Amino acid sequence: MPTVTYLLSDGSQISADLPVGTTLLAGAVNSAVPGVLGDCGGSCSCATCHVYVEERRLGELEPPSVLENELLDGVAAPRRENSRLSCQICMTHELNGLIVTLPDVQA
Amino acid sequence: MTESPLVVVGASCAGTNLALAAREFGSQRRIIVVGEEPGFPYHRPPLSKAYLSGKADDQSLMLRPEKLYASQGIEFLPETRVVSIDRNVKALLTSEGQRISYGQLALTTGCRPRRLSLAGAEADNVLLLRTVAEARSLREAAQSARSALVIGGGFIGLEVAATLAQGGIAVTVIELEPRLLQRAVSTLVADALLKVHRSHDVTFRFGVTAAALELSGNRVRNVRLSDNSTITCDLVVVGIGTIPNDELARDAGLCCDNGILIDAHGRTSDESIVAAGDCARQSNAFADHQLLRLESVQNATDQARSAAATLTARADTGLKPPWFWSDQYDVKLQIAGIITGADTSVVRGTPEEGKFSVFHFRNGSFIGAESLSRASDHVLARRCLGEQISLSPSVVGDTSIDLATIVRQSKK
Ligand SMILES: Cc1cc2nc3c(=O)[nH]c(=O)nc-3n(C[C@H](O)[C@H](O)[C@H](O)COP(=O)(O)OP(=O)(O)OC[C@H]3O[C@@H](n4cnc5c(N)ncnc54)[C@H](O)[C@@H]3O)c2cc1C
Ligand code: FES
């Protein structure tokens, strides 16, 4: 199973095995990663599942949809080039080893 | 942890967020969350959307992982109903006959769907939608249904209609009012939604109600409407509004009026009891201080955090503007603020294409916006309300003006 590593804002990290097809949000929730909320249940509405994806692998992800892109303007922490909504990123074999950093605020 | 426990009644969106926030804000008490439903708390919004269509499973509904609660020292008592509160001795009585003492009490009991008051309303194929158990029944019933009647053109009715129609079921929606979502959205938005539903072959009947249910065995076969016409269907879904679960509070002598009345910090009329979420009614700073009982994830989450701040004697988390969303087909409706009572409304975008926002004003002040598939307008509207950035009708009506720039400039 591919693995994702979540880097927390306090410097610690949590790695989780994610079945292909599940979202990075689901992975974070299942592993009790603090710092992600996902208030809308992953329906791309709340922008409380914000993560920063490691820059060098950004190009491997499907680009954000128009909706995700617009909603990213509403994240609580600063929006950066590598900001994504974790409920919109599905795990694939190719993404194995991906590292995402959590912002220090979500709401 | 020598203080007596914080007990939370109702284990869903508000209750869970309240318990977690109390811990986050430094509460040292034992925290016990008592909930009537089985299992751990879950997200309700997908029940009428991705869960009903089969795209989301039970695991993905989980509000928080089970192990988080243990790690935060939050205890759950599932399948337990609180039947009474004795405020004199600060104790609760549960349906299991257990007595639980509390030091602080939080009521997050939510609301329940209004039932049809017609003979036959308990038939096997007349379904309501609030809980995951009800969603499962509906999902199962939908598998063999070819036609469905949705009673009530509110958000839940419309979302269910959209999901069922996409599953190939012939859907009819009946609505008593002359249009959809009469009290919730503007005519322009209601018309746009109606158009999308019609393009998916959903039939609408306005100005009628269900007058009688004709049964065959334990199932409704025909529904007679108030205009004496009859609709034959395999499945009836009832979405005719909700009733707050405030009886527990009322019986305990707390002030209630279509919901448990709370002050700006979540306090009920008893200082050791707070309430939050769909069960609570509060003077709303974004609606001219009208008493409102909102039913939304945002409201449940923000009121929960505010009540937790009160219980832990922390400064309140601040005023958050109300917002709401609804997904129907590939259309996302987002509402920021409380838009009832507007005297001026301005359209931004292209209603013909179904991509537009309506910005609402009262006495010259911006009070909220509805956005259909224009999330960036919604995000900015929310920011303007939250940070009290003023917008004018002429600015929002001019699409050559970039709202983001206006917001950025006014923040300087
Ligand atoms: C199908 C559906 C779709 C929705 N879609 C959206 C959406 O798209 N966007 C949005 O913003 N909102 C949506 N909502 C609304 C949102 O889910 C609610 O606002 C939210 O769940 C409110 O949370 P709550 O904790 O206040 O109440 P509830 O979720 O109603 O939870 C209250 C809990 O308390 C329990 N309880 C009640 N009385 C007792 C008692 N005496 N003892 C023990 N337990 C008790 C109940 O069993 C229940 O589990 C939707 C709701 C539904 C049903
Ligand atoms: S969980 Fe709400 S936008 Fe991702």
Q: What is the pLDDT along chain B (412 residues), one digit of tens a residue?
A: 468 999 999 999 999 999 999 998 999 999 999 999 999 999 999 999 999 999 999 988 999 988 889 989 999 999 999 999 999 999 999 999 999 999 999 999 999 999 999 999 999 999 999 999 999 999 999 999 999 999 999 999 999 999 999 999 999 999 999 999 998 999 999 999 999 999 999 999 999 999 999 999 999 999 999 999 999 999 999 999 999 999 999 999 999 999 999 999 999 999 999 999 999 999 999 999 999 999 999 999 999 999 999 999 998 777 789 999 999 999 999 999 999 989 999 999 999 999 999 999 999 999 999 999 999 999 999 999 998 999 999 999 988 888 888 888 886 5
Ligand 1 centroid to residue A90 C-alpha, Å:
28
Which of B12, B67, B332, B353 to mutate to probe the A interface, most A CBs <10 Å?
Answer: B332
Given the CA of residue A45, which atom of ligand 2 is nearest to it?
3
User: Which of B391, B65, B2, B225 has the alpha carbon at shortest distance from A16?
Assistant: B65
Q: Do A45 and B325 touch (CB under 8 A)?
A: yes
Which amino acid is located at B326 in the chain? Answer: S
Instruction: Tell me how far apart the terminal alpha carbons of chain B are, to the nearest angstrom.
Output: 46
Q: Which residues contact B302 (CB under 8 A, 6 or more apart)?
A: B317, B320
CATH H-level, domain B6-112+243-311: superfamily: FAD/NAD(P)-binding domain (3.50.50.60)
Given the CA of residue A85, which atom of ligand 2 is nearest to it?
4
Distance CA B237, CA B173 (A): 9
As a whole number of angstroms, the longest Cα–Cα distance in chain B is 69
Ligand 2 centroid to residue A44 C-alpha, Å:
4
User: Where in the sequence of chain B do the CATH 3.50.50.60 domains occur?
Assistant: 6-112+243-311, 115-240
Instruction: Tell me how far apart the terminal alpha carbons of chain A are, to the nearest angstrom.
Output: 31
Which amino acid is located at B102 in the chain? Answer: Y
Q: Do A29 and B64 touch (CB under 8 A)?
A: yes
Which bin fits B364, alpha (ψ -120 to 50), beta or left (φ > 0)? Answer: left
Give the per-residue pLDDT at B22.
Answer: 96
Q: Which residues contact B42 (CB under 8 A, 6 or more apart)?
A: B12, B58, B61, B62, B63, B132
Chain A residues touching B304 at Cβ < 8 A:
none
Is the model more confident about B148 or about A34? B148
What value, to the nearest 5°, has the Cα angle with vertex B293 and ends B287 and B298?
80
Given the CA of residue B130, which atom of ligand 1 is nearest to it?
53
Burial bucket for residue B159 (CB in 10 Å: 0-12, 13-18, 19+): buried
Q: Do B65 and A71 touch (CB under 8 A)?
A: no
CATH H-level, domain B115-240: superfamily: FAD/NAD(P)-binding domain (3.50.50.60)
Q: How confident is the model at residue A29 (pLDDT cuts 50, 70, 90)?
A: confident
Tokens of B252: 């305990």
Calculate what percentage of chain A has a pLDDT beyond 70.
100
Distance CA B367, CA B359 (A): 8
Q: At B308, which helix (H) or strand (E)? A: helix B297-311
The CA-atom distances, in angstroms, between B344 and each of A10, B237, B336, B362, B392 are 47, 36, 16, 6, 10
CB atoms within 10 A of CB B379: 24
The CA-atom distances, in angstroms, between B382 and each of B171, B306, B329, B340, B370 are 34, 19, 24, 16, 11
Q: Do A74 and B68 touch (CB under 8 A)?
A: no
Chain B residues touching A44 at Cβ < 8 A:
332
Q: Which ligand is nearest to the CA of B132?
A: 1
pLDDT at position A7 over 90: yes
Q: What is the pLDDT of residues B298-353, one digit of tens each?
A: 999 999 999 999 999 998 777 789 999 999 999 999 999 999 989 999 999 999 99
Q: Bridge partners of B130? A: none
CATH number of B330-410: 3.30.390.30
Q: What is the ipTM of this complex?
A: 0.87
Tokens of B96: 């299991």
What value, to the nearest 5°, has the Cα angle with vertex B172 and ends B167 and B173?
110
Chain B residue nearest residue A70, CA to CA: B376
User: Which of B13, B9, B12, B62 has the alpha carbon at shortest distance from B34?
Assistant: B9
Write the residue in A29, A32, A73 that is nearest to B379 by C-beta: A73
Write the residue in B71, B301, B334 that is nearest to A39 by C-beta: B301
Give the per-residue pLDDT at A93.
Answer: 95
List own/partner pairs for B348-353 with CB under 8 A and 24 or more apart: B348/B374, B348/B377, B348/B396, B348/B397, B348/B399, B349/B374, B349/B377, B349/B399, B351/B188, B351/B192
* Any ligand 2 atom below 6 A from CB of A25: yes
Is the CB of B374 inside 8 Å of chain A's CB atoms? yes
Strand order in the sheet with A13-17: A13-17, A3-7, A98-101, A50-53, A83-85
Residue A40: CA count within 13 A, CB half-sphere:
25
Q: What is the pLDDT of residues B156-169, one digit of tens each?
A: 999 999 999 999 99
Q: What is the mean pLDDT of residues A30-50?
A: 89
Cα dihedral B5, B11, B16, B20, rounded to 10, equals 20
